[in-house]
Structures are given as structure tokens and as C-alpha cells.
Amino acid sequence: MAKAKAKIELPKLSKLKFDADEISKLTPSERDGQVSKFLNHYGYTYGKKELKKHVAKWMQSTGDWEAKDPARLIAGPDGWFPGTLGKLGKAWSDGWVFDAKETEWMQSEIRLYFTKCGNAPVAVSKSAKKTGMPELTIQDRIKLKINEHIGHFEEQQDLLSTVGKVDPKTFAYLKKENVPQNMLKGIAQPFIERLAEWQEAKAGTCEDLKEAYGHWQAKDYKKYFAFVEGILADIDAYAKTKKAVKVARVKKAPNKQKLVSKVKYAKDNTQYKVASIDPVNIIGASELYVFNVKTRKLGRYVADSHMATLSIKGTTVTGFDTQASTQKTLRKPERQLPEFTGSSKVAKRKFLNGIKSVEIALNGRLNSDTILLHVQ
């Protein structure tokens, strides 16, 4: 008879308590570090149904909400309830003291949750008027948005305690939400720190971490490492696509737009996590790298000695050397493309030469399966 799987628990963390005097002595960076740590631990220990109750109690304590609002929050759908909101509510129950910005964020997230549920409260919270809390700056709002995205991935991480594997589809999520490049570092940072903490716990070099994660087995470390490393790899891949588009926008020229108006190409591809540069950049370039997502062929167009630069006519590359412009099939594009896109100009040439597959001449035609990877 198979043994029932033991529920993973963190008994000490479930009794976590904060000291108000100690909290008041924390610097802003130390405070952020503490928040990051307890959000991770609470997410691993508690479900949304329980976390909602802590937020509801906090709502009652503020006097800013209608009497029925806490009950409405508890009755709302768990799927739309922000995990970070619940974890902060639990921290408050354990003695964490909110500063003005955390209080405003809590109020804002609760109102947003009610709005998503189609049950938005009419009045804005009273606390802003009563206490004269500062207006949120642009940077504050960016940070709150970053926390919202982090919360999305933390909710995915929560699922790891009940299932063996979770694919957060990070690249697809970032693309769907059109997350700007200036937020990516902030989204990645807590997961970088989390990974370092787990690695230290596994190594057993810190007694506190060794005790906190003493219940983890090798398989637990393996699945959590894979989860976070996957998130960080996709954030990096997405950042490269945003950078390519940003560079393209800077180089736009009105007289060139007409030349490329009929070009057919793939703007991006979620499967391979790549995005095209603006075709305008082909005009005047000496080299163009392309990738066909259907045939898995990586190619390089080289300008011929007579024309000196590449151009576009309709949906065809012109001015290229027919002998030097070739393509090769990638056997494992999921692994090879990140290596290619992250390499230097010289390394890109060597990369294509190093591919062990049949070399085929390029014909200049671009189509809806073609990713315009890079120009020199």
C-alpha cells in the first residue's frame, strides 16, 4: 500500500511574530528585505482562503470600510485575490506595522479586487483624508505594479506545494501584459534573492536557513530551482526582445518606411522567445540575420561588394552577395537562439559557421515565418 504524501509545513514560520520597536529601526532597504522574506514564507505556508481572513480583520481595524466590505472580500473569488495582499494581511496579524505607502497599497489593492469582482466600493478609503497620507509618486506606482507582477508569479509558485511541476509561462505573460523594460529588473530581483537563499539552505552554511528548510528533500529543491531559473531565463529573453524593439524605434526614418511598407515578417515568436527588429534597419546595413520559425533555419545576408549595403524591394532583401549569404538548420533552437542573441557581433558570425548542418543559399525572400533577428 502506497504511503500518503506528507503535507509540507513550516511550523516555526506559522508562528512568526514581529516586534514593532525592531520594525521602526529598519532602514527602507532592510524593510524591503524583510517583506520579501516573509512574503515568500507565507506564500509557502498559507492558502488564499485563510489569508483573506487576515485582510478582512485589518479592514475592520482601520475603520475605513463599510461594515459589509470585509465579508464581501472573504466571499469573493479566490482566483482574482492578490496573493501579496493576503500575505501582507497575515504579516499584520503577526505584528508587522504598515508604513503609509504599504497602507495605501493595501487600500488600493482591495479596491481593485472589488472592481475585478464587479463589486467596487463607491467611496475611496477614508484614511487618506483622515491621516493626510502622501500621494503616491510615479516611482511608487511603478513599484506597486512591479509587486503586482511579482505576486502573479508567487501565486504560480504557491502551486508547487501541491503539484510536482508548474510552468508559469513567463515570456507569454510578460508579452501579454506588455511589461516595460524598466520593470524587469525589479520583477527578477526577489527571485534572484530567493534562489540564493535556497542554494544557501541546501548547502547548509546558514543554521537558520538550514532549520527553516529542514523539511525540504532533494526533489523539493530541484523543482523550486527549476521554477525560479525558468522565470529568470524568460525575463532575460523578454528583455532582449524589448531592447531590440526599442533600438528599432530610435532608428526609424520616414523616407525608409515606404520602402519596407510591404515587407512580410514575424514580429515575434513566443515558442522561441524572439522578436524582430524594425525592417527599416535593414536598409543601409551590411549584414542581416534571420530565423525561420517554421523551418528552424538561421541565415545571414551579407551585402555584396558592389552595392555595399542591403535594401528592401517589396518583401525581398536586395543587394546581398548570393555566394556569401547562407542559412543552416538549428537542431535545438530553444537552446541555440538565446546563445546566439546574447553573443557579440564577431561571435554571431562564428556561431553560424560552427553549426554542423548543410549550408543552403538564401534567396532574399522574407515571409510571415521570418524573424528579423539582427543587423550589422
Question: What count of other Cβ atoms lies within 10 Å of the Cβ of residue 183?
Answer: 18
**C-alpha grid cell, residue 232:** 529568470
Residue 250, pLDDT above cutoff 70: no
**C-alpha grid cell, residue 26:** 529598519
Give, rounded to a whole angstrom, the gap between the first and last alpha carbons of the chain. Answer: 64
Distance separating alpha carbons of residues 57 and 86, to the nearest angstrom: 11
Q: Which residue has the higher pLDDT, 129 or 273?
A: 273
**Taking CA 164 as the corner, what is the angle to CA 158 and CA 165, rounded to the nearest 5 degrees?**
75
Nearest residue to 351 via CA among 322, 373, 323, 320: 373
- Please tell me whether residue 107 adopts helix, strand or coil conformation: helix
Q: What is the pLDDT of residue 4?
A: 39
Distance separating alpha carbons of residues 68 and 260, to the nearest angstrom: 59
The strand pair at 268-269 and 274-275 is best described as antiparallel
Rounded mean pLDDT of 148-175?
A: 80
CA distance to 87, 120, 136, 198, per residue, from 193 (Å) = 18, 36, 27, 9
**Residue 336's pLDDT band (boundaries 50, 70, 90)?**
confident
Residue 146, pLDDT above cutoff 90: no
The mean of the pLDDT values for the chain is 80
User: Cα torsion at 16, 19, 22, 28 (round to 10°)?
Assistant: 60
- Quick: pLDDT tens for 170-224: 898 898 888 898 899 988 988 898 888 888 888 888 888 888 788 888 888 888 8
Distance separating alpha carbons of residues 242 and 363, to the nearest angstrom: 29
pTM beyond cutoff 0.85: no
Residue type for 10, please?
L
Question: What count of other Cβ atoms lies within 10 Å of the Cβ of residue 226?
Answer: 14
Q: What is the DSSP letter of 133?
A: P
Domain parsing of the chain, residue ranges: 13-242, 254-375
Distance separating alpha carbons of residues 64 and 82, to the nearest angstrom: 20
Alpha-carbon torsion 102, 106, 111, 115, what sign? positive
- Please tell me whether residue 336 adopts helix, strand or coil conformation: helix
